[in-house]
Structure 1
Amino acid sequence: MSDTLKVCGLTIERGTKLRTYLPVPDTNVKIPLTIINGDQDGPTLLITAGIHGGEYPGIAAAMELGRDIEPEHVAAGCLIMMHPVNIQGFWARREMIVPEDGKNLNRVFPGDPMGTLADKTAYLISNNFFSIADFYVDMHSGDIHESLHPYVYYPGQPTPEVEKKSRSVARVLDMEYMVRSLATGGAYNYAASTGLPSILIERGGAGLCLHEDIEAYKDDIRNILRKLKMFSLPVKPRHHSPRDVENLIYLEALETGCWLHHIHSGDFVEEGQVLGRITDVFGNTLTTYYAEQTGVILYVCPALASPKGTILVAYGTIKEFDDEE
């Protein structure tokens, strides 16, 4: 619940806004942080953007929302945004990892205060912010080597209550698809395991920072704020309500080679359809990949260079009927 918020040595009174840098303990790294504490008591919404430094639209959206939203716009509660979390990876234009230690920050939660930079960053967030939040949104995009169709993950491993609260917020986003995650890794899945309802949003990708993706992301956050009864400004009408995508297949490259994809994110594919092929550097086909099921493509690797183990395509089946909240 928001009152006078005290976190990591910072004090933010009701009806005030703070834009500052949050030091990662025992490092020289500081994370940009915006906290907007509304006039009235209400939920605390935590948002992280840029856990992967090359996923730009969510970072830009958080920057602009932090600039434009004032305390009087927050009808109740407190909004906390970090943008970008992996600031070293952001400035280095690195996909996925923290440059200093080569770790995927999203894979080390809850972190370790005695570990490397990625571990310390994860610990800073999980130890200080998950405990004060009522809902958590992690903003992602396709990474520099990923092109995707917008969708949202909600956790399927925690308690039914946490899953239900997470899914109810996922449903207010203006996008076509949502996925019940059965993974245990990742910041939002760890947060959910502690009892914190959470979602991970995917918009944009391939190293691009398009205006339309930024604006759509800003609308996502406004819709969430309205759903949580935190926002006093009007929101735009939605064009979509997410449907569940199930039976996800993450197709990995069987060998290192050149990936030539025959499909794009958002496409529908039939079982047996060619998804793409891996060739050697002389253009000779090594492996042709076929769809194992009929479904929708959520993301595809657009990069030609594809080391063994690269996720080439992610696709799943669309659930025919969604249970309404």
Structure 2
Amino acid sequence: MAFINSDNILTLLGQEILPGQSATINFNLAKLYTTSSVEIPVIIERSKKPGPVVLITSGIHGDEINGVEIVRQIIAKKINKPKIGTIICIPVLNIFGFLDMKRAFPDGRDLNRVFPGNPRGSLASRFAYQFVKKILPIANYCLDFHTGGASRFNAAQIRISPQNIEAAQFAKIFNAPFTLHSKTIPKSYRATCSRLGIPILLYEGGKSKVSDKEIARIGVNGAIYFLNHLKMMRSTIEIPEIKRPSVVVEATRWMRAKYSGLMHVKVTCGQFIEKGQHIATITDPYGKFRYPVNAPHAGYIINVNEASLVYQGDAIFNISTDKATRYGKTESEEEV
């Protein structure tokens, strides 16, 4: 069990880390067919001064590179060296998927659908159980970084549960371009944190298997804003200027392709579009067919399917349906 005693000594995965110390502990996950151990580096930075413990994770889905890049930059830029408290970074939770560039574990399970895990379950479930029992309890706050699946590109966003006032306040501090109201998925990491009473911010941005510089920049900046709010940022770390507050999106609706063919997207993710606006064209390979895709309603494009080929019925755009607002005031399109 992870804990900090009265002398401010952290015990994690059987090792003691003193105030002011740095440590990298290998979390033993499983063994390969060859009996070689599979281990996940857990990177710990502690201040001499007591304070909150922030757990920063990415790579729950092995093919989501943007999250891994964000946590890598947090470590490389020494953002994870706190003025007070402790910051724990785990850049790649699903090391199996990361090596194979696959979303799931080798057992075919989605790690983010098996929490809090089972000590006698599947490989993914066993790992989730060990993580929840041995690492998660020490955290006072969690930041978890994700990416859109398959060819779907997500606008940079924080996802929070509706009516969660504390999460809304933290999302405002993180200041991603969008704050999306999203119900907590059962057996997800976010659901387990909520059950344990640990505040968590889930960041989504970009698409799988692709590293996007802007998505990473927004994620790193958000982490800085959040850690600075907790008074954990050292004076040597520059706090980026906040240019625009986050747009709050309470509801979205998927738009599906009416025809199969080659899709040519005409707009960018995050853009505000008007009802009837031409946002894509679907064509056949032979130059005989051309179908314009027009927006069914006004809203922000939260997700774009960037696949070059689509089938009839494929989800192609996710568009906000409510009157999006920035925190504290109604937002006009021109300010975006």
- Shared fold (TM-score, shorter chain, > 0.5): yes
Aligned counterpart in structure 1 of residue 211 of structure 2, from 209, 212, 228: 209
Aligned counterpart in structure 1 of residue 58 of structure 2, from 45, 49, 57: 49
Instruction: Specify the code of the residue in structure 1 equivalent to 2:22.
Output: K
Distance 2:314 2:137 in 1: 35
Instruction: Specify the code of the residue in structure 1 equivalent to 2:44.
Output: I
The residue that corresponds to 2:129 in the other structure is 123
Instruction: Specify the code of the residue in structure 2 equivalent to 1:166.
Output: A
The residue that corresponds to 2:15 in the other structure is 10
Q: For the Cα contact (< 8 Å) 1:49–1:58, is it kept in 2?
A: yes
Segments of 5+ residues of structure 2 without an aligned counterpart are 330-336
1:267, CA displacement in angstroms?
2.1
The residue that corresponds to 1:87 in the other structure is 95
Distance 2:313 2:119 in 1: 31
Q: For the Cα contact (< 8 Å) 1:175–1:240, is it kept in 2?
A: no
Task: Give deviations 1:248-306, integer Å, cap 9, x for gaps.
Answer: 12345689765544433112223344554667776887998654432101111101244
Q: For the Cα contact (< 8 Å) 1:14–1:38, is it kept in 2?
A: yes
The residue that corresponds to 2:24 in the other structure is 19
1:97, CA displacement in angstroms?
2.2
Which moved further from structure 2: 303-312 or 222-231? 303-312
Sort the Cα spacing of 1:129 and 1:289 in 2 relative to 1 into closer, same or farther, 3 A: farther
The residue that corresponds to 2:83 in the other structure is 75
The residue that corresponds to 1:168 in the other structure is 169
Distance 1:102 1:256 in 2: 29
Q: Which has the larger radius of gyration?
A: 2
**TM-score, length-normalised on structure 1?**
0.83
Distance 1:323 1:74 in 2: 31
For 1:128-143, what aligned pairs fall within 5 Å after superposition? 128-143=134-149
Q: For the Cα contact (< 8 Å) 2:176–2:222, is it kept in 1?
A: no
Which moved further from structure 2: 281-290 or 113-122? 281-290
Instruction: Specify the code of the residue in structure 2 equivalent to 1:136.
Output: C
1:178, CA displacement in angstroms?
0.4
* Residue correspondences, number: 316
Distance 1:121 1:309 in 2: 36
Sort the Cα spacing of 1:102 and 1:264 in 2 relative to 1 into closer, same or farther, 3 A: farther
Q: For the Cα contact (< 8 Å) 1:17–1:70, is it kept in 2?
A: no
Distance 1:282 1:130 in 2: 55
Instruction: Specify the code of the residue in structure 2 equivalent to 1:150.
Output: A
Sort the Cα spacing of 1:306 and 1:54 in 2 relative to 1 into closer, same or farther, 3 A: farther
Distance 2:287 2:43 in 1: 49
What's the secondary structure of 1:62's corresponding residue? Answer: helix
Sort the Cα spacing of 1:232 and 1:26 in 2 relative to 1 into closer, same or farther, 3 A: same
Task: Give deviations 1:160-190, integer Å, cap 9, x for gaps.
Answer: 6xx2222222112343210122233332233
**TM-score, length-normalised on structure 2?**
0.81
Sort the Cα spacing of 1:262 and 1:108 in 2 relative to 1 into closer, same or farther, 3 A: farther
Instruction: Specify the code of the residue in structure 2 equivalent to 1:312.
Output: I
What's the secondary structure of 2:269's corresponding residue? Answer: coil
Identity among equivalent pairs (%): 24
Distance 1:13 1:187 in 2: 28
Aligned counterpart in structure 1 of residue 298 of structure 2, from 294, 298, 308: 294
Instruction: Specify the code of the residue in structure 1 equivalent to 2:50.
Output: D
